[in-house]
Amino acid sequence: MDQTETSQPVTDDAVLRRIERLQLNYIASIDEGPLDNWPQFFTDKCLYTVVSRDNFDRGMELGVMRFESVGMLVDRATATQHAAVFAPRIIRHVLGPALVDDTGDGYRSRCNVVIYQTSPDGDTVLLMAATYDDLIVEQDGVLKFKEKRVIYDTHRIPDSIVYPL
């Protein structure tokens, strides 16, 4: 995606640390749970989408998940915990450093992420190599995701994607 003309690299360490803390708390809500906390990281009206790099490069928006409100995120968190059948697993996100720009409408943060998945037998596989492309805004003094696009390279997914990413 092109950067808008007005966007400026963020150099303020305090802002960068707040954004890093947001990302770390976000992945902890998935890796450590409880998953009920996951929707709280988003603004009420938001876009959360998980799209393969293959679709993205072809200009196709189809995602394995696509949620447009906190309500839809709550539905996913609830369904995952109460209305899905799957083998137990551990999810582990590893984040790279973020490039952060101030767009005027919020902070745009882009970072690499790899996500591992471990089975009950103890086998760890790479679920996906991906990037987060996020738009972060401040709401009542709290940073939240207005947009989070997970764009994943690993478009031959091993089995299924149970948890959000």
Partner 1 sequence: MDGAQTPGNSETDIWSEAGTTRVPFQVYQDADIYAQELERIFYGSSWNYVGLECEIPEAGDYRRNFIGEREVLMIRKEDGGLSVVENRCAHRGAQLCQALSGVAGAAIMCPYHQWTYTLEGELTGIPFKRGINGKGGLNPDFDMNAHGLVQLRVESLNGVVFASFDHEVVPLKEYLGPDMTKYFTRIFDGRGLRVVGYERQVIDCNWKLQMENLKDPYHAGILHLFLISFGLFRLDQESKCLVDDSKGHSVLMTAKGTEEGKEDTGGVRIAAPDFSLTDHDLIQPRLEFPDNVTLSIQTLFPSIIIQAQCNTLATRQVIPKGPGSHELVWTFFGFEDDDDEMKDLRLRQANLMGSAGYVTLDDAEALEFSQVGLSGSPTGDAAILEIGGTDCESNDHLVTESLIRGFYMRYRDIMGHGKAGD
Of the candidate spans 8-16, 65-73, 108-116, 135-143, the one that interacts with partner 1 by CB under 8 A turns out to be 65-73
Q: Smallest gap, in angstroms, from Cβ of residue 132 to partner 1?
A: 17
DSSP-based three-state secondary structure for 34:
coil
Q: In the structure encoding, which two tokens stand for residue 126, read together?
A: 């790479």
Interacting residue with partner 1 among 7, 25, 78, 131 (CB under 8 A): 78
The continuous run of DSSP H or E covering 48 comes out as strand 42-52
String of DSSP letters for 72-133 = HHHHHHHHHHHS------EEEEEEPPPEEEE-SSSEEEEEEEEEEEE-TT--EEEEEEEEEE
Q: Does position 15 bind partner 1 by CB under 8 A?
A: no
Closer residue to partner 1, CB minimum distance, 64 or 114: 64
Closer residue to partner 1, CB minimum distance, 28 or 62: 62
What span, in angstroms and rounded, lies between the C-alpha atoms of 110 and 117? Answer: 23
Chain positions 131 to 160 lying near partner 1, rule: CB under 8 A, are: 155-160
- Which residues are at the interface with partner 1 (CB under 8 A)? 50-52, 54-55, 58, 60-69, 71-72, 74-76, 78-79, 82-87, 155-162
